[in-house]
Structure 1
Amino acid sequence: MQLTLGPVLYHWSPERWRDFHYRIADEAPVDTVVVGEAVCSKRAPFKQDLLSGVVERLEDAGKQVVHASLILVSLARERRQTRELMAAEGVMVEVNDLTCLATLANRPHVIGPFINVYNEATARFLAARGARCICLPPELPLAAVETIAAALPGTEIEVFAFGKVPLAISARCYHARAHNLAKDNCRFVCEQDADGMPVRTLDDAGFLSVNGVQTMSHSCASLLRDIPMLRRAGVASLRLSPQDCDMVAVAKLFREAADGHLEAREAEERLAGIYPDVPFANGFLHGIPGHRLAEPFISDV
């Protein structure tokens, strides 16, 4: 089973973003790394001058590099930037908005978890147009994952296995609004929250996280205990979404668990030490509310 590191969804400083990927290149046992800005096009210029160096470092370390498209393409400049990315030769692209497909012209590409692939018919449609890997939406239950994987034996099926779950994207910026700022003059306040801005209920319970124009879960998805079950379902790759914690340690933990060298209970105990004070969840996969953690542990028997 392979490991994919998804794009950094948060607005980290350029230096932190660069150094994060350098360390991933040198130390993390992941097979594929997705780079680029997927959430807000206003953030992209901060990474642009560093992108080629990051890609070179990752490729020199033997990682496959995939370039993420925006999740929501709405402005003229965003459409232009997206067309340029889709037309770039020698670049493997992750499609996060269906408007990208017209420009790809059946070139090999990856489908990101932001595309609504809810059944095997949709997956076949995308695979026939060049999708080599499909990262399924994180809200799918296991039965749907298994059905899609069985229907596409020649296509790599990936699941969202770690990170705060992306739930929605908007043309409005919640982060700016929370600071009484307009989206066009946001002052990039989202950089203040390296792991998203927490949203709590009136009863002071954790509810959601806000990341600029993106809504995310309060809990952190972790499918560590479900790896044996996912392998039997035909899943070929696990996606780890970068959080404000030691992602090299997270990747090593998932690698050990995927290789059968670490039991689920111990893996989860160690994960809680790497990413403390954050609730973990796998409810979507088990067909229960997504913020919950299903019991019991699944053993590979």
Structure 2
Amino acid sequence: MQIIQEPIHYQNPQLCMKVWKFTHTGDEHEGPVHWHYHKEVEFVLVVEGVHEMHTPTHSYRLIQGDVVVIGSSQLHRGLTPVGQDVAYIVLHIDLEPYFDPAMMHYTRHFMEVLNPLEDLNYIFRKFPHVQREVGAILYHIHEEVMQKKKGYEIAVSMHIKHLLLTLLRNDDQGLLLAHEYVDADVLRPVTAYIEAHLADKIDMSEVSRMAGMSYTYFSKYFKSKVGISFTDFVNRKRIAKAERMLAIGNKNVTDIAEAVGIENMAHFYELFKRFCGCTPREYKRKMRGV
């Protein structure tokens, strides 16, 4: 099994997104579709035909008008049934630049700290009118980017805010909850540093200095703003990276644990079971069988 970190080339770097319409016919000679992931959140709208999306935990059979969202750096793959013609719009977007002061109140849950954005797919299944609304938003974003009329950047930004607001207002399970204001200038460099140094020892003393705070104050600040402790956040990120590496199938568990900065194997197994609900071996077997 091959897994690919897919590079996303933005059509307009200022918008931090790419939107494209794909049309093709399912072919039995295409071979297996590779698992892949990318930093950007992905929205898919099926315009015509049948398309399937798979993640390690869910499978979606999408028909005309159906929408699905895939979280940041989440393993996934798309399949089109053999002989089926399909057309679908795909939006890849880095949401972070869209969190202006009015949005920062809702940053934590869109950051997927506690819940992957994939969990929001229940909204589309439960509320057909919301799925239609989000589908229309994705269609308008695609049209704006393709036509590039004067001010299309403003229009796209407005549509993205509309998309996020629609998800917020229709999340009756409370996955996207308001919380304390988060200072983006503090949190973004910290999370970026963590992502870049998962293989290393991450010292909270160093990170607190980066944030311009004392060790004790930063510890309390991080937990109050993010919802979990700094250590728990780092461990969640380490295990998420380990999941992607396990799916490759060419590294043993010990090497993967070391690659994500966890030298104690008992601790690695305990964290993996806590966050994934299964052992690394069971996870690898499940990925090969999906």
Q: Which has the higher contact order (CA 8 A, sep 6+)?
A: 1
Query: TM-score, length-normalised on structure 1?
Result: 0.27
Query: TM-score, length-normalised on structure 2?
Result: 0.28
Q: Which has the higher strand share?
A: 1
